[in-house]
Amino acid sequence: MGKILRGRRAMWLSFDDKDYTVLGKDSDDLSIDLNPDTEQTKNVLGETTFNNNGYTPSMSNEYQARTEDAIYEHIQYIADNLAVDDEHTSATMIVATLDIEVKDTGEKTATGKGYKVPVKVVVDNDGGSTAGYAIPFTINEDGARVQGSVSVENKIPTFTAGGASEVAERSATKKTEGSNLS
């Protein structure tokens, strides 16, 4: 109970929606930037209005290249060919909050809730320091998130689509209840 350990929030990337690579192996920070499009305006009456026009999620990943990673050949291809076409830059990302940390999934199966989303991958640079060859890239969401459940064995996720998130369900229930009051 209490604080959720960072290792319980995990992200995976796949270019074929079968073979996934867990992200963050060489990172001490990995976050999805939600990039909200918001504005506050004041009208002539002095009233302030706040508008949230939605989000454009993206994530930067400081990827240290590993030949055994399912994503390596794809990321290397993008870097070598400066690929921008859908065939080579389209991928799928799974994000989940699990009941145990990903590192413990060799001994146990982790379960949790999360989502799967189509993404586009853009390589940021190619090279790195003497610590190892790096190909940092940015992941940009490119479609609707599908909510569901995730189970993880040996750091490999299995995603099962299934209904809206609890927050979305509560929000829809409140809107329905509110509209019945008139």
Identify the band that residue 136 occupies on the pLDDT scale cut at 50, 70 and 90.
very high
**Count of domains in the chain?**
1
Could you write out the DSSP letters of every residue in the chain?
--SPPGGGEEEEEESSSSS-EES-TT-S----B--EEEEEEE-TTS-EEEEEEEE--EEEE--B--TTSTTHHHHHHHHHHT--SHHHHEEEEEEEEESS-GGGTTTS-EEEEEEEEEEEEEE--SB--TT--B--EEEEE-S--EEEEEEEETTEEEEEE-S--HHHHHHHHHHHHHHTT-
| pLDDT digit string, tens, across residues 50-67 | 999 999 999 999 999 999
Q: How many degrees, rounded to 5, is the angle at CA 102 between CA 56 and CA 91?
A: 40
pLDDT for residue 139 is more than 90: yes
Residue 1 lies in a domain: no
Residue 63 lies in a domain: yes
Residue 108 lies in a domain: yes
Identify the band that residue 105 occupies on the pLDDT scale cut at 50, 70 and 90.
very high
CA distances from 166 to 38, 94, 162 (A): 24, 18, 11
Cβ neighbours, 10 Å, residue 27: 13
| pLDDT digit string, tens, across residues 150-163 | 999 999 999 999 95
Residue 95 lies in a domain: yes
Please give the Cα distance from 163 to 166 (Å, whole number). Answer: 9
Residue 78 lies in a domain: yes
Range of the domain at 103: 6-179
Q: What CATH number is given to the structural domain containing 13?
A: 2.40.30
CB 96 within 8 Å of CB 10? yes
Residue 76 lies in a domain: yes
The closest alpha carbon to 103, from 6, 29, 17, 1, belongs to 6
pLDDT for residue 166 is more than 80: no
pLDDT for residue 178 is more than 80: no
pTM of the model: 0.85
| pLDDT digit string, tens, across residues 92-104 | 999 999 999 999 9
CB 146 within 8 Å of CB 114? no
Average pLDDT, the chain: 91
